[in-house]
Structure 1
Amino acid sequence: MTEAEARAALIERRDALRAEDRLDEEGRKPVVLDQESVGRLSRMDAMQVQAMARALEQRRAAERARIDAALKRLDEGDWGWCVICGEAIAPPRLAHDPSVTHCIKCAA
């Protein structure tokens, strides 16, 4: 994977994560307590859906942070090198996930 391909893949994934955030906005809204229109179990289900949506949002935020860090490494010429040992990260590993920061040896 070339640096240009990595940059394009990272930007595409970051944009997809932002789109997913916009789609999940409804699920993260507060659950209104209205026992007349929504039963207790339905409200509990809604609260569980809300908690799952927030957890997904947090995971997407963490992935966006990894992507932004990878783009910064690309800009600085450090992309593709392990941040621990300084060795090159295997091309298949980078092709699978261009945001990785560790070679397979250090990741283990």
Structure 2
Amino acid sequence: MNESELEQFEAQIRARLEELKEQSALANESQSIVELDQQAVGRLSRMDALQNQAMAKAQQANRDLEARGLLAALIRIKDGEFGHCEDCGDEIRAGRLNLNLAASKCVSCASV
């Protein structure tokens, strides 16, 4: 992988990290504690609110997981290891990296 390709991947990773940060900021309110409102419709509306809160927390956990993978990819770029499988050392194809910027294994090693 040449320097230009690495720079493009790094820019894509940084842009995705920024998107994740913005999404997390927008979702903060959805994860807040569900208040018991006696004036609301009743138990069903509270159950809906609790379910929405649980979904928001699960989405945040997915964003956090993706962000950790992307940060690890930035470290691999810095260390000159990005684009090489962490198991066998073979080159990870650009198509795979375009689909998953945080990919650290080639298709063969990832499918084992």
Q: Please report the TM-score for the alignment, with normalisation by the length of structure 2.
A: 0.92
Q: 1:70 aligns with which of 62, 73, 79?
A: 73
Residues 1:102 and 2:112 aligned together: no
Contiguous gaps of at least 5 residues in structure 1: none
**Amino acid paired to 2:103:** V
**Amino acid paired to 1:22:** A
Contiguous gaps of at least 5 residues in structure 2: none
**Distance across 1 between alignment mates of 2:59 and 2:99:** 21
How much is the aligned-residue C-alpha RMSD, in angstroms?
A: 1.1
Taking only the aligned residue pairs, the percentage that are identical comes to: 39
Q: With CA pairs under 8 Å and 6+ residues apart, which has the higher RCO, 1 or 2?
A: 1
> Which runs of at least 4 in structure 1 moved beyond 3 Å after TM superposition?
none
Residues 1:41 and 2:56 aligned together: no
**Distance across 2 between alignment mates of 1:95 and 1:20:** 21
**How many equivalent residue pairs?**
108
SS at match of 2:104: coil
